[in-house]
Chain A
């Protein structure tokens, strides 16, 4: 029996998320007194995969087939199943991101494994196997028992700290046994976001609401985000108006994020919005309405004009970074 961590790659590179997953897998395995292994699908060089050893991974199965880059859901699930069999894995851990959400349910059926998505922290108990997760979009938490012998957990980015545990890692060439027929997703074009911090990876998020008044007013907000190395987000009315793209919408029907620091400029804080951001460690709200519900969720607040506050923030951050 073992814990298997699925380490995805982005053009052959790993991210902080990869090491968070490795750290989580290693600590979970220690709790269960099992070995922890990883599987990598796609072209990643050995030196890169070796870096997982720093976080406790003992062996990485590496299938370097290029076609994994089409992100075909059933092909990846099939390859993960082959890796789980090869490592006798009873628990598989992966990211609760777009790819993890797409392939974990398919793998769960193959392994007949109980699946809990976006788990918070290590299991509360292992016999029975109980994990905690957010429900009702952050309005509550649930403790969930996984009854099956096999289990799959997905972990939200930025939710588990890195834990170093220097280990020698073996990289093992692995062939999941897939053929060209297994890949049925035809990618016509890919548009990668470059030079910007991705919202789901961001440790700091700067967000604007209707109080920003118009699409043209985002300059200062973007400047603040840039000097902070932060991601940018918005509330639902803003994306509905087309002031900002849909992929920046955080809240009930958009993205659910949990950065270390969330700035809400001109966001009133409708319950649907708060659901998407209330797991943030620190929330700063700037709003002209002192009665705005955002102040009930915020740790720090300013009642005032966002356009008077933003320049002061920008200056102060520049000073701090200087």
Chain B
């Protein structure tokens, strides 16, 4: 079985968000880039499956649509254990554009894993769009995945509970929290080995974006917090009822 993990390159989650002067683009100066946290969990689970089932998991490949600056993030994925990386050389304009680019490389993989959300623009669509473009089954909000013979045992969250499923391959799974516990931290040996692993750069195909960012806004400043004394806590409930009218 070959696994492809889609990797988003996003600003570190503690980044103070800034935009350029006319607020049409994110200001990336001084930003630390990381593997999108959900994609990192997907990769972690892929590595766990390889460790648990040995040769059954033939290889794990990570893929990203981005310019050369995203290679550091792909190298990190290689350093924690992915076997190969693919970078499709294009600016990731929108989810439809990115999914269309990925069709060039994704069809060969039995299992494709994508994170449920991107920490930058909070899009949720690349995985599902890729599945549709490949005419492949998909499951979303996956919080557990395991192999059983030639089938996959999957836990997914539904609105109002959870379900256990069995699905056959090929499959695309959109994964969320719970799929793996802690992401891995690259060790020195992994970082050294990552330098020798293949990182293939592929030219972008012709594709269109269906949406475009017009401009960005920062949220308005929040009014100061109204403080209540600890021994007057009950009065706050009255304030919430009478003043804020939320109780």
B150 lies within 8 A of chain A by Cβ: no
Which of under 10, 10 to 19, 20 to 34, or 35 or more describes the interface residues of A? 35 or more
Option from B13, B95, B159 in Cβ contact (under 8 Å) with A271: B13
Cα A191 to Cα B155 in complex, Å, equals 11
Q: Determine the chain B residues whose CB is within 8 A of the CB of A320 once the complex forms.
A: 237-238, 241, 247
CB distance from B12 to the nearest CB of A (A): 10
The residues in A between 191 and 218 inclusive whose CB is less than 8 angstroms from any CB of B are 191-193, 198, 200, 204
Separation in Å of the A48 CB from the closest CB of chain B?
A: 17
In the bound complex, do residue B137 and residue A74 qualify as a contact, i.e. CB atoms below 8 Å apart? Answer: yes
Docked-complex contact A73 and B230, CB < 8 angstroms: no
Residue of B nearest to A317 (CB): B237
A188 and B166 form a contact (CB under 8 A): yes
Chain A residues whose C-beta falls within 8 Å of the C-beta of B124 in the assembled complex: 101, 105, 117
Q: Are B157 and A135 in contact (CB under 8 A)?
A: no
Number of interface residues of B (CB under 8 A): 83
Contact: A102 with B160, CB < 8 Å? Answer: no
Which residues of B sit under 8 angstroms from A32, Cβ to Cβ? none
A190 at the interface (CB under 8 A from B): yes
Whole-angstrom distance between the alpha carbons of A316 and B239 in the complex? 11
What's the minimum C-beta distance from A314 to chain B, rounded to whole angstroms? 9
Interface string of A175-190 (1 = CB under 8 A from B): 0000000001111111
Q: Does A89 contact B (CB under 8 A)?
A: no
Contacts of B132 in A (CB 8 A): 74, 77, 105-106, 108-110
Q: Does B161 contact A (CB under 8 A)?
A: yes
| CB atoms of B165 and A141 under 8 A apart | no
Contact partners of A249 in chain B: CB under 8 A: 177
- Asked if A122 CB lies within 8 Å of chain B CBs, one says no
B244 — which chain A residues lie within 8 A by C-beta? 261, 282, 299-300
Nearest CB of chain A from residue B22's CB, rounded to whole Å: 13
B24 to chain A, nearest CB (A): 10
Give the docked Cα–Cα distance between A118 and B96 (Å).
17
B200 at the binding interface (Cβ < 8 Å): no
| Chain B residues within 8 Å of A106, by CB | 128-129, 131-132, 138
User: For the complex, is B226 an interface residue (Cβ under 8 Å from A)?
Assistant: yes
Which A positions have Cβ atoms within 8 angstroms of B? 8, 10, 71-74, 77, 97-99, 101-106, 108-110, 112-118, 130, 133-148, 184-193, 198, 200, 204, 228, 239-240, 246-247, 249, 252-254, 256, 260-261, 271-272, 275, 278, 281-282, 284-286, 295-305, 308-309, 312-313, 315-317, 320
Binding site for A on B (CB under 8 A): 11, 13-15, 17, 19, 37-38, 41, 94-96, 99, 116, 119-129, 131-133, 137-141, 143, 156-168, 174, 177-178, 181, 209-219, 222-223, 225-231, 233-241, 244, 246-247
